């Protein structure tokens, strides 16, 4: 059996893995990144929507991996009204396959060693201490010894479980999703559309994200605890029949999105989890790309610092949690409380919200403006959101 030594082994080459690996290597650490698929970014299980501000700190914006630039989000109420929220071209729909590859290239250029078709199958221990990763590479079992493992292996993460971390999600904390990439329909090339309502998508929403080449991602995510009787595919098929009977489905993806408040524990001696593996996802929107990159940037930096300090104890690595909490972790908890409130709202609240958005002229649209209009138009809705905010602070 072959053994090789590194400071850090990163498992998974999605946005979390490649950013963590790059940030650690930039600080001089020797880093191996393992990816079980034959290349990063495939299969794409994502609607591919991000904000420019979210990704810009991590990668130079390049049109080659941008499928569409987004000017507005259109909300569709359960009773059939619609309202546009404008963002002046600050949203993108990505070509994830190319975007993820580019993130890997940046990591490799910084000195990261990357292996594809390299499936991590377990952790190596000396007594209680994690000392490396066992992986299968073209049929051969290999071992990479290291001081720190970074688990960036996505929503179905096994790395956490191998280390004794409880990564289980309650059914109401995972959205089950189905998405069709379609062609042959008319859609706005610069607007994302969102459809709400208990009959349309219980505990979630249907999205239409435009892509280049006359294609669009049309998908649905519904709360796992509401999916037993009728699954997301049945809801999406009804929507397609109603709205786009002429659509041609190019391909279909299924996937889960964690919509939890986070994990109680995602750091132990010699190991950290990042991205979907650590449930670092916006619980309301289900967006996790930017969150994964932000968390990974911190984790990669802390891992390199711990190598320099010769200290890979949980106590040292908790610097990652401290910084994550101050950047986004606390906000995620607030969002989670809001999600719980939104889940309990009846359709009339969503109808109201859309009508309030309709009353704001395009050039005046901002969240501040929406808040002030809501205070006048539906103070109970604002109180609902405020209660969620306070509840999150008390958790
Ligand atoms: C239908 C759907 C739509 C979504 N839409 C959006 C959206 O529009 N915007 C947004 O921001 N987010 C969206 N998300 C969420 C987003 O895709 C994730 O949050 C994001 O990909 C997380 O990045 P990650 O690096 O943590 O995990 P991933 O991107 O899942 O990467 C994990 C990597 O680890 C690899 N891996 C797993 N196990 C092993 C192993 N044992 N050994 C080696 N490699 C392994 C996998 O092959 C994979 O490449 C969506 C998710 C779904 C399912």
Rounded CA separation 56/85 (Å)? 22
**Residue whose token pair is 């109970």:** 380
Atom number in ligand 1 closest to CA 209? 8
> Strands (DSSP E) along 116-197, which ranges?
118-126, 129-137, 140-145, 148-151, 174-183, 191-195
Cβ of residue 15 lying under 6 Å from some atom of ligand 1: yes
Residue 1: the pLDDT is 57
Q: Are residues 251 and 295 in the same domain?
A: no
Alpha-carbon distance of 354 to 335, in angstroms, equals: 20
- Is 68 a residue whose pLDDT tops 50? yes
Domain count for the chain: 3
- Cα 115 to Cα 117: distance, rounded to the nearest angstrom: 7
Tens of pLDDT, residue by residue over 101-123, are 999 999 999 999 999 999 999 99
In a domain, residue 36? The reply is: yes
Q: Which of 208-217, 287-296, 297-306, 317-326 has the lowest mean pLDDT?
A: 208-217
133 CA from centroid of ligand 1 (Å): 21
Nearest to 73 by CA among 357, 376, 383: 357
Q: Do 281 and 366 lie in a common domain?
A: no
Containing domain of residue 385, as a range? 338-394
- What Cα–Cα distance (Å) separates residue 295 from each residue in 15, 20, 30, 322, 361? 10, 8, 20, 11, 36
CATH of the domain at 218: 3.30.9.10
Are 45 and 55 within 8 A, CB to CB?
no
Give the model's pLDDT for residue 115.
97
Q: Are residues 380 and 284 in the same domain?
A: no
Domain co-membership, 265 together with 135:
yes
Residue for token pair 């929503």: 155
Q: Which residues pair with 148 in a beta bridge?
A: 8
* pTM recorded for the entire structure: 0.94
Cα angle 374, 363, 375; round to 5: 10
Using one digit for the tens of pLDDT, what is the confidence trace for 339-364? 887 788 889 888 988 888 888 877 77
Write down the mean pLDDT value for the chain.
Answer: 91
In a domain, 214, yes or no: yes
- b/e sequence 187-200, b meaning 16+ C-beta within 10 Å: bbeebbbbbbbeeb
Domain match, 150 and 189 both? no
Find the 74 Cα to ligand 1 centroid distance in Å. Answer: 25
CA atoms within 13 A on the CB side of 171: 5
Residue 49 CA, ligand 1 centroid: distance in Å: 13
Q: Would you say residue 53 lies in a domain? A: no
């Amino acid at each position: 059996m072959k053994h090789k030594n590194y400071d850090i082994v990163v498992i998974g080459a999605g946005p979390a893995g490649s950013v963590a690996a790059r940030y650690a290597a930039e600080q001089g650490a020797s880093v191996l990144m393992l990816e079980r698929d034959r290349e990063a970014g495939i299969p794409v299980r994502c609607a591919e929507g991000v904000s420019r501000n979210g990704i810009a700190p991590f990668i130079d914006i390049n049109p080659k991996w941008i499928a569409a630039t987004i000017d507005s989000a259109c909300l569709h109420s359960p009773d059939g009204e619609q309202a546009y929220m404008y963002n002046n071209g600050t949203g993108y729909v990505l070509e994830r396959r190319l975007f993820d590859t580019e993130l890997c290239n940046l990591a490799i250029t910084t000195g990261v060693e990357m292996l594809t078709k390299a499936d991590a199958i377990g952790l190596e221990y000396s007594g209680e201490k994690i000392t490396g990763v066992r992986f299968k590479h073209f049929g051969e079992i290999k071992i990479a010894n290291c001081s720190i493992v970074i688990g960036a292996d996505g929503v179905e993460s096994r790395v956490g479980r191998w280390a004794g971390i409880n990564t289980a999600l309650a059914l109401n904390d995972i959205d089950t999703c189905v998405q069709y990439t379609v062609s042959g329909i008319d859609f706005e090339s610069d607007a994302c559309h969102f459809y709400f309502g208990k009959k349309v998508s219980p505990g979630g929403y249907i999205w239409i994200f435009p892509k280049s080449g006359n294609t669009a991602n049309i998908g649905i995510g519904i709360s796992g605890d509401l999916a037993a009787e009728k699954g997301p595919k049945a809801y999406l098929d009804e929507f397609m029949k109603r709205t786009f009977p002429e659509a041609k489905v190019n391909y279909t993806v299924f996937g889960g999105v964690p919509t939890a408040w986070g994990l109680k524990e995602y750091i132990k001696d010699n190991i950290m989890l990042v991205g979907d593996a650590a449930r670092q996802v916006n619980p309301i929107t289900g967006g996790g790309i930017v969150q994964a990159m932000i968390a990974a940037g911190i984790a990669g930096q802390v891992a390199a610092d711990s190598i320099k300090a010769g200290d890979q104890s949980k106590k040292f690595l908790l610097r990652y949690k401290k910084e994550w909490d101050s950047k986004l972790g606390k906000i995620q908890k607030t969002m989670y409380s809001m999600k719980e409130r939104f889940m309990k709202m009846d359709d009339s609240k969503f109808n109201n919200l859309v009508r309030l958005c309709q009353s704001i002229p395009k050039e005046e649209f901002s969240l501040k403006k929406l808040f002030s209009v809501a205070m006048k138009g539906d103070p109970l809705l604002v109180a609902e959101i405020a209660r969620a905010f306070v509840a999150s602070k008390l958790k």
